[in-house]
Amino acid sequence: MKPKVGFIGLGIMGKPMAKNVLKAGYELTVFNRTSSKTEELKRTGAKVASSPAQVARESDIVITMVSDSPDVREVVLGKNGIIEGSRPGLILIDMSTISPQVTVEINHELGRRGVEMLDAPVSGGEKGAIEGTLSIMVGGKKEVFERCLPILKSMGRKITHIGPSGAGQWAKLCNQVLASLNLLAVCEGLVLAAKAGLDINKVIEALSGGAAQSWALLNQAPKIVERDFSPGFLVKLHQKDLRLVLSAAESVGVSLPGTSLVHQLYNSIESEEGASMLGNHALIKSLEKLAGCEVKSQVSS
Ligand code: NAP
Protein backbone atom coordinates (compact mmCIF):
# COMPACT_ATOMS: atom_id res chain seq x y z
CA MET A 1 0.00 0.00 0.00
CA LYS A 2 1.19 3.52 -0.79
CA PRO A 3 2.32 5.59 2.23
CA LYS A 4 0.15 8.51 3.30
CA VAL A 5 1.88 11.78 2.48
CA GLY A 6 1.72 15.18 4.21
CA PHE A 7 2.81 18.45 2.59
CA ILE A 8 3.60 21.69 4.44
CA GLY A 9 4.26 24.95 2.56
CA LEU A 10 2.17 25.63 -0.54
CA GLY A 11 4.10 28.56 -2.02
CA ILE A 12 5.34 29.05 -5.60
CA MET A 13 7.13 25.68 -5.47
CA GLY A 14 5.19 23.74 -2.84
CA LYS A 15 1.75 23.99 -4.42
CA PRO A 16 2.62 22.47 -7.81
CA MET A 17 4.85 19.86 -6.12
CA ALA A 18 1.98 18.83 -3.82
CA LYS A 19 -0.34 18.64 -6.84
CA ASN A 20 2.08 16.23 -8.52
CA VAL A 21 2.19 14.02 -5.40
CA LEU A 22 -1.61 13.92 -5.44
CA LYS A 23 -1.66 13.19 -9.19
CA ALA A 24 0.67 10.22 -8.58
CA GLY A 25 -2.10 8.65 -6.46
CA TYR A 26 -0.91 9.33 -2.91
CA GLU A 27 -3.41 10.14 -0.15
CA LEU A 28 -2.37 13.70 0.76
CA THR A 29 -2.85 15.98 3.78
CA VAL A 30 -1.69 19.58 3.43
CA PHE A 31 -1.04 22.57 5.68
CA ASN A 32 -0.23 26.16 4.80
CA ARG A 33 0.23 29.03 7.26
CA THR A 34 -1.95 31.25 5.05
CA SER A 35 -4.92 28.93 4.83
CA SER A 36 -6.40 30.37 1.60
CA LYS A 37 -3.55 28.72 -0.35
CA THR A 38 -4.95 25.26 0.49
CA GLU A 39 -8.22 25.80 -1.44
CA GLU A 40 -7.05 24.49 -4.81
CA LEU A 41 -5.59 21.31 -3.33
CA LYS A 42 -8.72 20.75 -1.26
CA ARG A 43 -10.79 20.92 -4.45
CA THR A 44 -8.56 18.32 -6.11
CA GLY A 45 -8.86 15.82 -3.25
CA ALA A 46 -6.31 16.70 -0.54
CA LYS A 47 -7.26 16.81 3.14
CA VAL A 48 -6.46 20.08 4.91
CA ALA A 49 -4.88 19.99 8.39
CA SER A 50 -4.95 22.74 10.99
CA SER A 51 -1.27 22.44 12.02
CA PRO A 52 2.01 20.72 11.08
CA ALA A 53 1.44 18.41 14.09
CA GLN A 54 -1.87 17.27 12.61
CA VAL A 55 -0.21 16.69 9.23
CA ALA A 56 2.30 14.42 11.00
CA ARG A 57 -0.47 12.47 12.78
CA GLU A 58 -2.21 11.83 9.42
CA SER A 59 0.91 10.86 7.46
CA ASP A 60 3.68 8.27 7.06
CA ILE A 61 5.92 10.71 5.18
CA VAL A 62 5.82 14.50 5.62
CA ILE A 63 7.30 16.89 3.06
CA THR A 64 8.21 20.48 4.00
CA MET A 65 8.74 23.25 1.43
CA VAL A 66 9.04 26.51 3.39
CA SER A 67 11.43 29.46 3.13
CA ASP A 68 14.48 29.41 5.39
CA SER A 69 16.23 27.60 8.28
CA PRO A 70 14.20 29.27 11.09
CA ASP A 71 10.98 28.38 9.25
CA VAL A 72 11.88 24.70 8.97
CA ARG A 73 12.84 24.71 12.66
CA GLU A 74 9.48 26.27 13.50
CA VAL A 75 7.29 23.86 11.50
CA VAL A 76 9.30 20.83 12.64
CA LEU A 77 10.33 21.53 16.24
CA GLY A 78 8.11 24.50 17.24
CA LYS A 79 4.73 24.67 18.95
CA ASN A 80 2.23 22.49 17.05
CA GLY A 81 5.18 21.39 14.94
CA ILE A 82 5.69 18.05 13.21
CA ILE A 83 7.54 16.65 16.22
CA GLU A 84 4.41 17.03 18.38
CA GLY A 85 2.42 14.77 16.04
CA SER A 86 5.28 12.37 15.31
CA ARG A 87 5.77 8.70 16.14
CA PRO A 88 8.78 6.42 15.58
CA GLY A 89 9.01 5.47 11.92
CA LEU A 90 7.69 8.78 10.57
CA ILE A 91 9.85 10.22 7.77
CA LEU A 92 10.41 13.93 7.14
CA ILE A 93 11.61 15.04 3.70
CA ASP A 94 12.64 18.70 3.87
CA MET A 95 12.78 20.08 0.33
CA SER A 96 13.34 23.74 1.32
CA THR A 97 16.78 25.28 0.78
CA ILE A 98 18.29 25.79 4.24
CA SER A 99 21.58 25.65 6.12
CA PRO A 100 23.34 22.25 6.06
CA GLN A 101 24.31 22.73 9.73
CA VAL A 102 20.72 23.42 10.79
CA THR A 103 19.64 20.36 8.78
CA VAL A 104 22.05 18.15 10.73
CA GLU A 105 20.76 19.62 14.03
CA ILE A 106 17.09 19.02 13.15
CA ASN A 107 17.92 15.50 11.92
CA HIS A 108 19.62 14.80 15.26
CA GLU A 109 16.65 16.13 17.26
CA LEU A 110 14.18 14.03 15.23
CA GLY A 111 16.42 10.97 15.52
CA ARG A 112 15.95 11.06 19.31
CA ARG A 113 12.21 10.46 18.66
CA GLY A 114 12.80 7.70 16.11
CA VAL A 115 11.86 10.00 13.20
CA GLU A 116 13.95 9.71 10.01
CA MET A 117 14.86 12.78 7.96
CA LEU A 118 16.06 13.43 4.42
CA ASP A 119 17.21 16.83 3.17
CA ALA A 120 16.07 16.99 -0.46
CA PRO A 121 16.37 20.52 -1.87
CA VAL A 122 15.48 21.06 -5.51
CA SER A 123 16.55 22.89 -8.64
CA GLY A 124 14.52 23.62 -11.77
CA GLY A 125 12.36 26.55 -10.70
CA GLU A 126 8.58 26.97 -10.78
CA LYS A 127 8.49 25.42 -14.28
CA GLY A 128 10.25 22.29 -13.04
CA ALA A 129 7.87 22.12 -10.06
CA ILE A 130 4.80 22.37 -12.32
CA GLU A 131 6.11 19.86 -14.85
CA GLY A 132 7.44 17.43 -12.23
CA THR A 133 10.94 17.66 -13.70
CA LEU A 134 12.88 19.01 -10.73
CA SER A 135 16.43 17.99 -10.02
CA ILE A 136 16.48 16.71 -6.42
CA MET A 137 19.67 16.35 -4.36
CA VAL A 138 19.31 14.22 -1.28
CA GLY A 139 21.12 13.82 2.02
CA GLY A 140 20.32 11.18 4.65
CA LYS A 141 20.38 7.41 5.06
CA LYS A 142 20.50 5.50 1.77
CA GLU A 143 17.77 3.04 2.84
CA VAL A 144 15.41 5.91 3.76
CA PHE A 145 16.21 7.54 0.40
CA GLU A 146 15.30 4.32 -1.39
CA ARG A 147 11.99 4.07 0.45
CA CYS A 148 11.13 7.65 -0.50
CA LEU A 149 12.29 7.42 -4.13
CA PRO A 150 8.83 6.72 -5.63
CA ILE A 151 7.44 9.91 -4.02
CA LEU A 152 10.45 11.96 -5.08
CA LYS A 153 9.92 10.63 -8.62
CA SER A 154 6.44 12.16 -8.65
CA MET A 155 8.10 15.61 -8.34
CA GLY A 156 11.43 15.27 -10.07
CA ARG A 157 13.36 13.70 -12.89
CA LYS A 158 17.02 13.70 -11.82
CA ILE A 159 17.13 12.41 -8.25
CA THR A 160 20.53 11.86 -6.67
CA HIS A 161 21.53 10.55 -3.25
CA ILE A 162 24.55 12.72 -2.44
CA GLY A 163 25.54 11.45 1.03
CA PRO A 164 24.63 11.69 4.73
CA SER A 165 22.38 14.26 6.42
CA GLY A 166 23.16 17.79 5.16
CA ALA A 167 24.84 16.59 1.94
CA GLY A 168 21.76 17.46 -0.13
CA GLN A 169 21.83 21.02 1.20
CA TRP A 170 25.57 21.32 0.48
CA ALA A 171 24.91 20.21 -3.14
CA LYS A 172 22.11 22.77 -3.43
CA LEU A 173 24.46 25.52 -2.25
CA CYS A 174 26.89 24.48 -5.00
CA ASN A 175 23.94 24.62 -7.42
CA GLN A 176 23.24 28.20 -6.31
CA VAL A 177 26.85 29.22 -7.02
CA LEU A 178 26.47 27.99 -10.61
CA ALA A 179 22.93 29.33 -11.07
CA SER A 180 23.84 32.79 -9.71
CA LEU A 181 26.90 33.19 -11.90
CA ASN A 182 25.07 31.91 -14.99
CA LEU A 183 22.37 34.50 -14.37
CA LEU A 184 24.98 37.24 -13.92
CA ALA A 185 26.63 36.17 -17.20
CA VAL A 186 23.29 36.41 -19.02
CA CYS A 187 22.59 39.85 -17.53
CA GLU A 188 26.03 41.18 -18.50
CA GLY A 189 25.66 39.83 -22.06
CA LEU A 190 22.21 41.37 -22.45
CA VAL A 191 23.33 44.79 -21.17
CA LEU A 192 26.26 44.78 -23.60
CA ALA A 193 23.94 43.84 -26.48
CA ALA A 194 21.49 46.61 -25.52
CA LYS A 195 24.20 49.22 -25.23
CA ALA A 196 25.58 48.19 -28.65
CA GLY A 197 22.12 48.76 -30.14
CA LEU A 198 21.57 45.12 -31.16
CA ASP A 199 18.19 43.41 -31.55
CA ILE A 200 18.09 41.59 -28.20
CA ASN A 201 15.73 38.85 -29.34
CA LYS A 202 18.06 37.97 -32.22
CA VAL A 203 21.02 37.87 -29.84
CA ILE A 204 19.16 35.51 -27.48
CA GLU A 205 18.16 33.29 -30.40
CA ALA A 206 21.73 33.08 -31.70
CA LEU A 207 23.31 32.45 -28.28
CA SER A 208 20.73 29.80 -27.34
CA GLY A 209 22.22 27.40 -29.87
CA GLY A 210 25.87 27.71 -28.88
CA ALA A 211 28.34 27.20 -26.06
CA ALA A 212 26.81 30.05 -24.03
CA GLN A 213 23.44 28.32 -23.71
CA SER A 214 22.13 27.99 -20.15
CA TRP A 215 18.92 27.56 -18.16
CA ALA A 216 19.08 31.27 -17.30
CA LEU A 217 19.41 32.23 -20.97
CA LEU A 218 16.53 30.00 -22.07
CA ASN A 219 14.14 30.73 -19.21
CA GLN A 220 15.05 34.12 -17.76
CA ALA A 221 16.40 36.22 -20.66
CA PRO A 222 13.01 36.25 -22.47
CA LYS A 223 11.29 37.49 -19.28
CA ILE A 224 13.90 40.25 -18.92
CA VAL A 225 13.31 41.40 -22.50
CA GLU A 226 9.53 41.41 -21.88
CA ARG A 227 10.16 43.42 -18.64
CA ASP A 228 8.18 40.71 -16.84
CA PHE A 229 9.61 40.63 -13.31
CA SER A 230 6.86 38.49 -11.79
CA PRO A 231 8.56 36.02 -9.46
CA GLY A 232 9.41 32.42 -10.23
CA PHE A 233 12.07 32.75 -7.53
CA LEU A 234 11.97 35.81 -5.28
CA VAL A 235 14.98 38.15 -5.01
CA LYS A 236 14.67 37.88 -1.22
CA LEU A 237 14.94 34.06 -1.36
CA HIS A 238 17.89 34.26 -3.76
CA GLN A 239 19.59 36.61 -1.28
CA LYS A 240 18.78 34.13 1.50
CA ASP A 241 20.51 31.40 -0.54
CA LEU A 242 23.54 33.60 -1.21
CA ARG A 243 23.89 34.28 2.53
CA LEU A 244 23.72 30.51 3.14
CA VAL A 245 26.34 29.86 0.45
CA LEU A 246 28.75 32.53 1.70
CA SER A 247 28.44 31.50 5.32
CA ALA A 248 28.86 27.79 4.48
CA ALA A 249 31.87 28.63 2.28
CA GLU A 250 33.42 30.59 5.14
CA SER A 251 32.91 27.64 7.49
CA VAL A 252 35.11 25.50 5.24
CA GLY A 253 37.58 28.29 4.37
CA VAL A 254 36.61 28.83 0.73
CA SER A 255 36.56 32.18 -1.13
CA LEU A 256 33.74 32.64 -3.62
CA PRO A 257 34.41 36.05 -5.21
CA GLY A 258 31.90 35.68 -8.04
CA THR A 259 29.09 34.63 -5.71
CA SER A 260 29.87 37.53 -3.34
CA LEU A 261 29.63 39.92 -6.29
CA VAL A 262 26.12 38.68 -7.20
CA HIS A 263 25.09 39.14 -3.54
CA GLN A 264 26.40 42.74 -3.60
CA LEU A 265 24.62 43.50 -6.89
CA TYR A 266 21.31 42.34 -5.40
CA ASN A 267 22.03 44.56 -2.35
CA SER A 268 22.17 47.52 -4.73
CA ILE A 269 18.58 47.00 -5.91
CA GLU A 270 17.02 45.49 -2.77
CA SER A 271 16.72 48.88 -1.10
CA GLU A 272 14.19 49.90 -3.78
CA GLU A 273 10.54 49.60 -2.77
CA GLY A 274 9.19 46.13 -3.61
CA ALA A 275 12.41 44.89 -5.26
CA SER A 276 12.89 41.95 -2.88
CA MET A 277 9.54 40.54 -4.04
CA LEU A 278 10.49 40.58 -7.74
CA GLY A 279 11.78 37.55 -9.63
CA ASN A 280 15.54 37.01 -9.26
CA HIS A 281 16.15 37.95 -12.92
CA ALA A 282 15.68 41.52 -11.61
CA LEU A 283 19.46 41.24 -11.16
CA ILE A 284 19.53 42.90 -14.60
CA LYS A 285 18.37 46.15 -12.96
CA SER A 286 21.62 46.54 -11.04
CA LEU A 287 23.66 46.21 -14.26
CA GLU A 288 21.31 48.50 -16.17
CA LYS A 289 21.95 51.17 -13.53
CA LEU A 290 25.70 50.83 -14.02
CA ALA A 291 25.42 50.89 -17.83
CA GLY A 292 22.69 53.54 -18.05
CA CYS A 293 20.43 51.54 -20.35
CA GLU A 294 17.43 49.22 -20.33
CA VAL A 295 17.26 45.76 -21.93
CA LYS A 296 14.03 45.46 -23.88
CA SER A 297 12.61 44.18 -27.16
CA GLN A 298 13.15 47.32 -29.20
CA VAL A 299 16.66 48.33 -30.14
CA SER A 300 17.60 50.51 -27.18
CA SER A 301 20.25 53.07 -26.38
P1 NAP B 1 7.32 31.06 -1.41
O2 NAP B 1 6.46 31.13 -2.62
O3 NAP B 1 7.67 32.32 -0.70
O4 NAP B 1 6.62 30.03 -0.38
C5 NAP B 1 7.09 29.83 0.91
C6 NAP B 1 6.13 28.91 1.65
O7 NAP B 1 6.64 28.64 2.96
C8 NAP B 1 4.73 29.52 1.84
O9 NAP B 1 3.78 28.48 1.75
C10 NAP B 1 4.82 30.07 3.27
O11 NAP B 1 3.57 30.19 3.92
C12 NAP B 1 5.64 28.98 3.92
N13 NAP B 1 6.32 29.45 5.14
C14 NAP B 1 7.39 30.28 5.21
N15 NAP B 1 7.76 30.46 6.49
C16 NAP B 1 6.91 29.72 7.25
C17 NAP B 1 6.80 29.48 8.64
N18 NAP B 1 7.63 30.05 9.52
N19 NAP B 1 5.81 28.67 9.06
C20 NAP B 1 4.95 28.09 8.18
N21 NAP B 1 5.03 28.25 6.84
C22 NAP B 1 5.99 29.07 6.39
O23 NAP B 1 8.72 30.35 -1.72
P24 NAP B 1 9.08 29.23 -2.83
O25 NAP B 1 9.61 29.92 -4.03
O26 NAP B 1 7.98 28.25 -2.95
O27 NAP B 1 10.35 28.55 -2.11
C28 NAP B 1 10.24 27.56 -1.11
C29 NAP B 1 11.63 26.97 -0.86
O30 NAP B 1 12.12 26.38 -2.07
C31 NAP B 1 12.69 27.99 -0.42
O32 NAP B 1 13.57 27.42 0.50
C33 NAP B 1 13.38 28.32 -1.74
O34 NAP B 1 14.70 28.81 -1.52
C35 NAP B 1 13.37 26.96 -2.41
N36 NAP B 1 13.44 26.98 -3.89
C37 NAP B 1 12.70 27.86 -4.62
C38 NAP B 1 12.79 27.82 -6.04
C39 NAP B 1 12.00 28.76 -6.91
O40 NAP B 1 12.33 28.86 -8.12
N41 NAP B 1 10.98 29.44 -6.43
C42 NAP B 1 13.63 26.88 -6.66
C43 NAP B 1 14.33 25.98 -5.88
C44 NAP B 1 14.23 26.04 -4.50
P45 NAP B 1 2.63 31.50 3.66
O46 NAP B 1 1.85 31.19 2.43
O47 NAP B 1 1.80 31.60 4.88
O48 NAP B 1 3.57 32.67 3.50
Pocket of ligand 1 (CB under 6 A): 9-14, 32-34, 37, 65-67, 71, 74-75, 96-97, 122-123, 125-126, 232-233, 237, 241
Average pLDDT, the chain: 97
What's the pLDDT at 301?
44
Helix (H, G, I), strand (E, B) or coil at 6: strand
List alpha helices for 112-256, DSSP H: 125-131, 142-153, 167-195, 200-207, 215-219, 221-225, 235-251
Q: If residue 269 lies in a helix (H) or strand (E), which one and from where to where? A: helix 257-270
Query: Is-catalytic flag, 172?
Result: yes
Residues 184-201 have pLDDT tens digits of 999 999 999 999 999 999
**What pTM was estimated for this model as a whole?**
0.96
Q: How far is the CA of 14 from the centre of ligand 1 (A)?
A: 7
pLDDT of residue 203: 97
At residue 70, the pLDDT reads 98
Q: Which atom of ligand 1 is nearest to the CA of 37?
A: 46
Catalytic residue from among 15, 19, 47, 172: 172
Ligand 1, atom nearest to 96 Cα: 32
Q: For 93-125, how does the pLDDT look when each residue is reduced to its tens digit (9 = 90+)?
A: 999 999 999 999 999 999 999 999 999 999 999
Mean pLDDT within 165-178: 98
pLDDT value, residue 57: 98
Query: Cα–Cα distance between 212 and 218 in angstroms, integer?
Result: 10
pLDDT band at 300 (very low <50, low <70, confident <90, very high): very low
Report, as an integer, the average pLDDT of 129-158.
Answer: 98
pLDDT value of position 37 = 97
| Residues 6 or more apart in contact with residue 38 via CB below 8 angstroms | 10, 30, 31, 32, 46, 48
The reported pLDDT for the residue numbered 271 is 86
Pick from 100, 73, 72: nearest CA to 252: 100
